[in-house]
């Protein structure tokens, strides 16, 4: 009888494990850090069609976003994220998380927007004051033909920084919102574990953590979160703009957890697959060619509305702002000072409250004519959608950036720096001694510097001093044009303003609606001199 009982028990276990096997694989498409780029790269219309095509082929599909979608483009800024959320809802997103820059419009606005547009936002740790009352549901369970998957949303507390704390307060009601205290990481891990357990108790076989964090290290990195929790299958990550499709970390009970992320601005869409046996795998899809007509039409309608808004007058310019030489009409801003460069750098300085500005000239591809200035004319003058960025950097890093900027002089270089709050001299008698790595990134200067007499205001640049340096996120945060000297610098602000928005604020608030004769000289104000 004992042998029979043992046989029957073993048989039950066998049939139970077979029953747990899924009939079909589950596909979870994921995006992050879209930053308002609804028609960038893959685009939302193509993403919508990709999801439908997979479903029409018989796949079980969910679409997830890991934060920073509602900010970062003219369309996003002019509608305070509403147009982007409308389009994402039409695209077919099933689950969305709020990232740092989604809070730029204030928490109350986003919660109201989510309610009005019936968005799919979830976050376990967005609440009032000490998280004593949740502002959003924490998780969502989706049933894939009998296999339930729990999606849990978690925005790292570090998404609140010193410069955006005001965005978490409602001036009318006095309510303060919070994401938890970073000093109470153990408490938050327990809170997260409870949400995972709750989702499991509701029948979720797999738990996907949708995480917004801006670092792959520290208390709220995927590795740290996995180490302090158990029960996760995968982590879909946003915040660092990296392409990650095969990063594995260990959970508290030593289980493997897959971490994935899909770059930014829809440069790719992540395709996370949970196989029939429950094993996850991942790939990044970089090309989708078919477009959903309804979503494409909706994007066009939003763009048309933006164009109407953009025609409203911002101010008036008494001068022509040049990026090209007015005589030869050859591009000039990549090797010399121009009034366009001065104006743009001044706008950055005013918007960011920077000590000095280093603006890579690759951002300055347009010009601003005489006459009425509309938001549209600013978008045409500043077409790039990299945001204004503020970092902490030493005087030595500033000097190296200036030297990198002139290493090709007299030839054009998009890393040539237009400046504000600062002046410098280029010694044309010295050949460049900049050493680059094989990827064209700055390594060091092996000899004399071409850049001399660097002044911050009326004081010489102090090499050891920490300065608040403003500029484009392309160079300062993402190290574009080889600006590797800024690697590891503390980012104080990024994403709040586009160049066009900074210029608009500068014209309206500082220049009182008039670009004056201060900028009349096409060749600038001798902030950059030559020896």
- Tell me the range of 128-142, 255-269, 364-378 where mean pLDDT is highest: 255-269
Residue with more model confidence, 309 or 413: 413
* 528-530 sheet: strands from edge to edge: 459-460, 451-456, 422-426, 528-530
pLDDT of 238 reads: 95
Residue 511 domain-assigned? yes
Residues 408 and 283 in one domain: no
Query: How many domains, the chain?
Result: 2
Residues 191 and 98 in one domain: yes
Residues 191 and 275 in one domain: yes
Query: Given pLDDT bands bounded at 50, 70 and 90, which one contains residue 156?
Result: very high
Whether residue 355 contacts residue 421, with contact meaning beta carbons closer than 8 Å, is answered with: yes
Residues 272 and 350 in one domain: no
Please report, for the domain that includes residue 477, its CATH number.
Answer: 3.90.780.10
Query: Given pLDDT bands bounded at 50, 70 and 90, which one contains residue 8?
Result: very low
What is the residue range of 238's domain?
Answer: 23-302
Phi-psi category of residue 92: left, alpha or beta, with phi > 0 → left and psi -120 to 50 → alpha? left
* DSSP letters spanning 275-302: -TTS-EEEEEE-------HHHHHHHHHH
Query: Given pLDDT bands bounded at 50, 70 and 90, which one contains residue 16?
Result: very low
Please report, for the domain that includes residue 144, its CATH number.
Answer: 3.60.21.10
What residues are paired with 321 via a beta bridge? Answer: 368
Q: Calculate mean pLDDT across residues 323-340.
A: 90
Query: Given pLDDT bands bounded at 50, 70 and 90, which one contains residue 185?
Result: confident
Residues 161 and 236 in one domain: yes
Q: Could you read off the pLDDT of 451-503 as tens digits, one per residue?
A: 999 999 999 999 999 999 999 988 998 888 999 999 999 999 887 788 888 99
Query: Given pLDDT bands bounded at 50, 70 and 90, which one contains residue 17?
Result: very low
User: Has residue 418 got a pLDDT over 80?
Assistant: yes
User: Has residue 390 got a pLDDT over 90?
Assistant: yes
Residues 330 and 193 in one domain: no
pLDDT of 129 reads: 67
What residues are paired with 468 via a beta bridge? Answer: 392
- Tell me the range of 297-311, 372-386, 428-442 where mean pLDDT is highest: 428-442
Residue 7 domain-assigned? no
Residue 17 domain-assigned? no
Residues 341 and 248 in one domain: no
Residue 9 domain-assigned? no
Q: Could you read off the pLDDT of 491-511 as tens digits, one per residue?
A: 998 877 888 889 999 999 999
Residue ending a domain, among 252, 283, 302, is: 302
Whether residue 50 contacts residue 29, with contact meaning beta carbons closer than 8 Å, is answered with: yes
Residue 121 to residue 290: CA distance in whole angstroms: 27
Q: Residue 377 is inside which H or E element, if any? A: helix 375-381
Residue 15 domain-assigned? no
pLDDT of 22 reads: 60
Question: How many Cβ atoms sit within 10 Å of the Cβ of residue 457?
Answer: 10
CA atoms within 13 A on the CB side of 343: 35
Residue ranges of E strands in 433-485: 434-436, 442-445, 451-456, 459-460, 466-472
Whether residue 486 contacts residue 401, with contact meaning beta carbons closer than 8 Å, is answered with: yes
Residue ending a domain, among 302, 337, 365, is: 302
Mean pLDDT over all residues of the chain?
89
Q: Calculate mean pLDDT across residues 333-348.
A: 94
Residue with more model confidence, 161 or 91: 91
Residue 18 domain-assigned? no
Residues 252 and 377 in one domain: no
Among the residue ranges 147-151, 365-369, 495-499, 502-506, the one predicted with the least confidence is 495-499
Residue 451 domain-assigned? yes
The predicted model scores a pTM of 0.73
Q: Could you read off the pLDDT of 238-282 as tens digits, one per residue?
A: 998 899 998 999 999 999 999 999 999 999 999 999 998 889 999
User: Has residue 184 got a pLDDT over 80?
Assistant: no
Residue 1 domain-assigned? no
* DSSP letters spanning 344-357: HHHHHHHHHT-SEE
Residue ending a domain, among 268, 302, 336, is: 302
Residue 139 to residue 144: CA distance in whole angstroms: 16
Q: Could you read off the pLDDT of 56-87 as tens digits, one per residue?
A: 999 999 999 999 999 888 788 888 899 999 99
pLDDT of 385 reads: 67
Residue 238 to residue 429: CA distance in whole angstroms: 47
Residues 430 and 471 in one domain: yes
Residues 173 and 296 in one domain: yes
Query: Given pLDDT bands bounded at 50, 70 and 90, which one contains residue 9?
Result: very low
pLDDT of 3 reads: 35
Phi-psi category of residue 421: left, alpha or beta, with phi > 0 → left and psi -120 to 50 → alpha? left
Q: Calculate mean pLDDT across residues 307-325.
A: 87
Phi-psi category of residue 447: left, alpha or beta, with phi > 0 → left and psi -120 to 50 → alpha? left
Residues 495 and 522 in one domain: yes
Residues 290 and 362 in one domain: no
């Amino acid at each position: 009888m004992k042998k029979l009982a043992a046989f029957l028990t073993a048989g039950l276990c066998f049939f139970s494990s077979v029953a747990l096997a899924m009939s079909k694989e589950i596909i979870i498409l994921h995006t992050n850090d879209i930053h308002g780029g609804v028609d960038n790269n893959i685009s939302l219309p193509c993403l919508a069609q990709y999801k439908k095509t997979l479903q029409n082929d018989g796949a079980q599909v969910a679409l997830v976003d890991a934060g920073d979608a509602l900010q970062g483009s003219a369309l996003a800024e002019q509608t305070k994220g509403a147009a982007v959320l409308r389009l994402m809802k039409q695209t077919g997103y099933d689950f969305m998380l709020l990232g740092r820059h989604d809070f730029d419009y204030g928490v109350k606005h986003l919660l109201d927007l989510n309610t009005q547009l019936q968005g799919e936002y979830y976050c376990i740790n967005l609440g009032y004051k000490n998280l004593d009352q949740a502002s959003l549901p924490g998780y969502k369970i989706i049933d894939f033909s009998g296999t339930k998957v729990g999606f849990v949303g978690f925005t790292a507390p570090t998404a609140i920084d010193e410069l955006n704390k005001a965005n978490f307060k409602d001036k009318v009601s006095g309510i303060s919102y919070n994401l938890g205290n970073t000093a109470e990481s153990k408490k938050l891990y327990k809170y997260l574990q409870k949400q995972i357990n709750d989702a499991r108790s509701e029948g979720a076989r797999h738990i996907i953590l949708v995480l917004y964090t801006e670092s792959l290290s520290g208390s709220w990195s995927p590795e740290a979160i996995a180490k302090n929790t158990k029960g996760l299958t995968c982590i879909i990550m946003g915040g660092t703009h990296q392409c990650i499709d095969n990063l594995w970390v260990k959970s508290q009970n030593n289980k493997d957890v897959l971490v994935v992320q899909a770059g930014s601005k829809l440069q790719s869409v992540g395709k996370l697959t949970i196989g029939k046996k429950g094993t996850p795998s991942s790939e990044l899809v970089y090309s989708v060619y078919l477009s959903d007509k309804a979503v494409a039409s909706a994007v066009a309608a939003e763009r048309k509305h933006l164009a109407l808004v953009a025609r409203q007058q911002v101010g008036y310019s008494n001068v022509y702002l040049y990026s090209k030489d007015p005589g030869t009409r050859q591009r000039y801003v990549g090797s010399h000072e121009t009034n366009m460069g001065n104006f743009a750098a001044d706008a950055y300085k005013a918007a960011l409250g920077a000590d000095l500005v280093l603006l890579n000239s690759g951002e300055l591809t347009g010009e601003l004519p005489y006459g009425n200035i509309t938001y549209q004319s600013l978008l045409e003058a500043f077409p790039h959608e990299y945001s204004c960025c503020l970092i902490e950097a030493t005087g030595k890093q500033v000097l190296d950036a200036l030297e990198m900027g002139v290493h090709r002089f007299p030839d054009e270089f998009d890393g040539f720096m237009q400046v504000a709050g600062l002046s410098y001299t280029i010694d044309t008698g010295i050949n460049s001694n900049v050493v680059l790595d094989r990827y064209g990134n700055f390594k060091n200067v092996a000899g004399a510097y071409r850049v001399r007499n660097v002044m911050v205001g009326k004081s010489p640049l102090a090499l050891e001093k920490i300065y608040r340096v403003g500029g484009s996120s392309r160079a300062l945060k993402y190290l574009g044009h080889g600006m590797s000297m800024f690697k590891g610098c503390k980012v104080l602000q990024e994403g709040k303003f586009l160049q066009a928005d900074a210029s608009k604020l500068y014209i309206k608030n500082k220049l009182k609606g008039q670009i004056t004769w201060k900028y009349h000289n096409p060749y600038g104000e001798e902030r950059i001199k030559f020896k």
